Amino acid sequence: MFDKYIIDPATLRNTGPADAPTGFAFESKLGYYRGLGLSMIEELNVSIDGEALPREAVRFDEGQGPISLDEMESAYDRRWPFGTPATIIVARDGGFPKGEHTLGLVQKLRVSYLPFPSFNTDEKQVTFA
């Protein structure tokens, strides 16, 4: 529904030392029209040029500190409100590659009244210097 707003390409940045980045981060919004508890977010699949990055490399921060996807499964006291950007942090040697690339994110969400998971997908062409 709100898939085109999931990735904010203007917020893409490398993390770690400037001369030897250890990863990258970007802001994301929830693709569902209501907020969700973090335990209801089953997957955040990040890709570069269609290549999926390892699940273990992804961290999420809605403002209360970074949390792994495994830790999110039991984060019953944390919530991602609709319209509020959160930071997706990815550990990747060298950070985000320079040049023009496609950044992708798939949110797999467990919505209480749906008998199947909701998949929200966004891809953005980004030029990273």
pLDDT tens profile 58-113:
999 999 999 999 999 999 999 999 999 999 999 999 999 999 999 999 999 998 88
Predicted confidence at residue 113, as pLDDT, reads: 81
Distance CA 62, CA 81 (A): 9
The mean pLDDT value for 44-68 works out to: 97
Instruction: Please answer whether residues 11 and 27 qualify as being in contact, where contact means their C-beta atoms are separated by less than 8 angstroms.
Output: yes
3-state secondary structure of 78: coil
The C-alpha atoms of residue 63 and residue 40 are separated, in whole angstroms, by 17
Confidence (pLDDT) at 1:
57
| Domain at 40, CATH number | 2.60.40
What is the structure's pLDDT at 122?
Answer: 97
First to last CA, the chain: 31
pLDDT at res. 116: 86
Q: Looking at the 3D structure of the chain, how many domains does it have?
A: 1
For residue 30, the 8-state DSSP code is -
Q: Where are the alpha helices (DSSP H) in the chain?
A: 69-72
pLDDT for residue 2 is more than 90: no
Rounded Cα gap, residues 21 and 91, in angstroms:
9
pLDDT of residue 115 exceeding 90, the answer is no
Least confident of 3-7, 11-15, 61-65, 123-127: 3-7
Give the domain extent around 27. Answer: 3-128
